[in-house]
Chain A
């Protein structure tokens, strides 16, 4: 399977100016998103994954800003886009599904209007009739019949609202959908159905999906590749089966071992990771994970490792797998 790159992220940093000082929520991150893949971006609270998702749409508001790096989407650097180009870019080529469907939809606008408006804003010459028919077809595909399309958001359930959000992204044939904790507020059965649907849509329409979530089991259910974030860095990224079978970074190892598995025997103990994610106003020196790492070495507190390739498809940011810098 040839992997064509859709998005190339190079040395991206997002910095927030807080009362205490600058906080780099995303710190010099580089990775690729391939066309047609489902990439799961996991991490705990405060690791910067949501910030990274927003940065892809350049939706970082003051006091935060993208302080360095490039985002190259289909060979175009969107950091160079002006406001008008960004407005066109957002929605038409990249779309976002947020966590809370209640507040992301306009409560006084009907569902079909949401979608028709999206179409007409981005494809200015589309007639209403055509937009409506596209909407109906798509929403039917997503499981919302045309009789529900005239409802208002509060009349729909959470799961349906998320499907509407997905629809808004898809109706414009966006190339990349960023789902930021899109299923966190949903019940588990609804979540499962939405996951099924997203996978089907990817198979049929070839869209790319970036799933940002703290739910590792969910990523295991649906992603092709997984990227693990910790304290603003991506510390491991690779094919999903490979990472789950043999996690390399100590954080990934601990994380995967602490996730409850419904198939486990009740007597089996979950791994308890010591410590807590660091406060990004005072990040640890060197490798940010070293205070909690059971395999930490002297070099880990001094120098930060880079995200280096370990084998064909795996990248890992850890001194255990790289030649350490020579003292001097």
Chain B
């Protein structure tokens, strides 16, 4: 019964060897069990960010219109349909709809340069295509008469020189009351449904498209400035913390004084000095964040420097630069990643703030800050002008922040794993 068994001195248990063979995706799913809420946060914010980045890189896939083009009437509400164009006729006219007036022999008037012409053309085209298809043989081709102002046009109609007059509600204004013998026959619309998901701004640009294109600017500025801050602040922090001495004191002094400036004010100052342009904006915002990276990295370096494994590395004969790169930096990195995330979020906000004030970007750039600036006076009349850009800024900022925060939990080494 007392068989002596051969026991290996450090044999690894079966289940541990098995676990080792588990692939990446299995481990990802296992992580869900381990990290609970954080795992979901990372997942959600990661998906949101991937989506945002795709939008930023390929805005043309998502934006229905050119953001700088006037594609609709000004201040059209979200989802509202563009008001159509009014067809005015003499009260005595026997016409019942546009078709009746659109004969070859008739004359239709409009204001010079009015978008009504486009509707006219499109409607005629429709009718002609329909007529041809049905083989009706009728050609709709009324003569178009241009007028300089609404008054001239209405005079002509009233005088009987025109069979019909097309104009928009804006152009018409109150002038109809002056002419008792003119009435509105019907409303004409263009083929496509002119309604804009997020409405239009005062120039008539589609807000939705502007937001999409604005993502690109925001991401470019946010990521670039964060990257520059990172590339300057982290090495300086590492060196300062590692070497110590007078270099450290000077750098710390300098960085601390930079740090005490209220962020936006400093950015404004730098941007004002450097002048307009997207590059200068990026630089201005980057400078803002260098002290943060510097401080955190330096603090962590000082901590890590005193750890036993650094001493162990020294006793191995490791060169100081290698200690910095292989031992200190990897252990300092997790805290920096979180800052990077939050940095991008804040940079986007700062960029919006700067362009809100009017610094940096050319005035018509599709940029959230610019949109916010333009829309601020219209809060009551046209709330959609600032709401959508505002929500977008918040959403993107939130996504980056969420990612950073939830990663911080996961990136720290689990000392009591398995």
User: Is there a contact between chains A and B in the complex with CB atoms less than 8 Å apart?
Assistant: yes
Q: Which residues of B contact A295 (CB under 8 A)?
A: 2
Per a CB cutoff under 8 Å, which of B4, B10, B15, B418 touches A294?
B4
Question: In the complex the two chains form, is B13's CB within 8 Å of A294's CB?
Answer: no
Per a CB cutoff under 8 Å, which of A272, A276, A281, A292 touches B418?
A281
* Nearest A-chain residue to B414, judged by Cβ: A19
- Bound CA–CA A282/B14 (angstroms): 11
Question: In the complex the two chains form, is A296's CB within 8 Å of B15's CB?
Answer: no
- Bound CA–CA A282/B17 (angstroms): 13
Question: In the complex the two chains form, is A274's CB within 8 Å of B9's CB?
Answer: yes
How many residue pairs link A and B with beta carbons under 8 A? The number is 29
Does residue B22 face the partner (Cβ distance < 8 Å to A)? Answer: no
Q: Which residues of B contact A272 (CB under 8 A)?
A: 9
Per a CB cutoff under 8 Å, which of A19, A20, A274, A279 touches B7?
A274
- Bound CA–CA A14/B9 (angstroms): 30
Q: Which residues of A contact B35 (CB under 8 A)?
A: 19
Does residue B33 face the partner (Cβ distance < 8 Å to A)? Answer: yes
Question: In the complex the two chains form, is B13's CB within 8 Å of A19's CB?
Answer: no
* Nearest B-chain residue to A18, judged by Cβ: B416
> How many B residues face the partner with a CB closer than 8 A?
17
Q: Give per-residue flags for A9-23: 1 if the beta carbon is below 8 A from chain B beta carbons, else 0.
A: 000000000111000
Does residue A297 face the partner (Cβ distance < 8 Å to B)? Answer: yes
Does residue A328 face the partner (Cβ distance < 8 Å to B)? Answer: no
Question: In the complex the two chains form, is B418's CB within 8 Å of A279's CB?
Answer: yes
Question: In the complex the two chains form, is B33's CB within 8 Å of A19's CB?
Answer: yes
Per a CB cutoff under 8 Å, which of B13, B33, B34 touches A282?
B13
Q: Which residues of B contact A279 (CB under 8 A)?
A: 13, 418
- Bound CA–CA A279/B16 (angstroms): 11
Question: In the complex the two chains form, is A294's CB within 8 Å of B5's CB?
Answer: yes
Question: In the complex the two chains form, is B418's CB within 8 Å of A297's CB?
Answer: no
- Bound CA–CA A326/B10 (angstroms): 34
Q: Which residues of A contact B15 (CB under 8 A)?
A: 282
Does residue A275 face the partner (Cβ distance < 8 Å to B)? Answer: yes
Question: In the complex the two chains form, is A20's CB within 8 Å of B418's CB?
Answer: yes
- Bound CA–CA A292/B13 (angstroms): 12
Given the known interface contacts A282-B15, A297-B1, the answer about A275 and B7 at a Cβ–Cβ threshold of 8 Å is yes
Does residue B308 face the partner (Cβ distance < 8 Å to A)? Answer: no
Does residue B136 face the partner (Cβ distance < 8 Å to A)? Answer: no
Quote the shortest CB–CB distance from A64 to chain B (angstroms). 13
- Bound CA–CA A274/B6 (angstroms): 10
- Bound CA–CA A19/B157 (angstroms): 83
Q: Which residues of A contact B273 (CB under 8 A)?
A: none
* Nearest B-chain residue to A294, judged by Cβ: B4
- Contacting A at CB under 8 A, from B268-299, are none
- Contacting A at CB under 8 A, from B12-68, are 13, 15, 33-35
- Bound CA–CA A31/B359 (angstroms): 78
Given the known interface contacts A282-B13, A295-B2, the answer about A274 and B418 at a Cβ–Cβ threshold of 8 Å is no
Given the known interface contacts A281-B418, A297-B1, the answer about A292 and B7 at a Cβ–Cβ threshold of 8 Å is yes
Q: Which residues of B contact A296 (CB under 8 A)?
A: 5
Q: Which residues of A contact B10 (CB under 8 A)?
A: 276
Q: Which residues of B contact A291 (CB under 8 A)?
A: 7
Given the known interface contacts A279-B418, A281-B418, the answer about A274 and B8 at a Cβ–Cβ threshold of 8 Å is yes
Q: Which residues of B contact A19 (CB under 8 A)?
A: 33-35, 414
Quote the shortest CB–CB distance from A121 to chain B (angstroms). 35
- Bound CA–CA A276/B416 (angstroms): 17
- Contacting B at CB under 8 A, from A275-319, are 275-276, 279, 281-282, 291-292, 294-297
- Bound CA–CA A296/B1 (angstroms): 8
- Bound CA–CA A204/B5 (angstroms): 50
Quote the shortest CB–CB distance from A254 to chain B (angstroms). 12
Quote the shortest CB–CB distance from A270 to chain B (angstroms). 14
Quote the shortest CB–CB distance from A246 to chain B (angstroms). 17
* Nearest B-chain residue to A20, judged by Cβ: B418
* Nearest B-chain residue to A296, judged by Cβ: B5
- Bound CA–CA A30/B375 (angstroms): 75
Quote the shortest CB–CB distance from A309 to chain B (angstroms). 23
Q: Which residues of A contact B5 (CB under 8 A)?
A: 294, 296
Q: Which residues of B contact A18 (CB under 8 A)?
A: 416
Q: Give per-residue flags for B223-266: 1 if the beta carbon is below 8 A from chain A beta carbons, else 0.
A: 00000000000000000000000000000000000000000000
29 contacts between A and B (CB under 8 A): A18-B416, A19-B33, A19-B34, A19-B35, A19-B414, A20-B34, A20-B418, A272-B9, A274-B7, A274-B8, A274-B9, A275-B7, A275-B9, A275-B11, A276-B10, A279-B13, A279-B418, A281-B418, A282-B13, A282-B15, A291-B7, A292-B7, A294-B4, A294-B5, A294-B7, A295-B2, A296-B5, A297-B1, A297-B2
Known contacts A274-B9, A279-B13; 12 further A-B pairs (Cβ under 8 A): A19-B33, A19-B34, A19-B35, A20-B34, A20-B418, A275-B7, A275-B11, A281-B418, A282-B13, A292-B7, A294-B5, A295-B2
Give A contacts to B, CB under 8 Å.
18-20, 272, 274-276, 279, 281-282, 291-292, 294-297
* Nearest 5 interchain pairs by C-beta: A274-B7, A19-B34, A295-B2, A274-B9, A297-B1
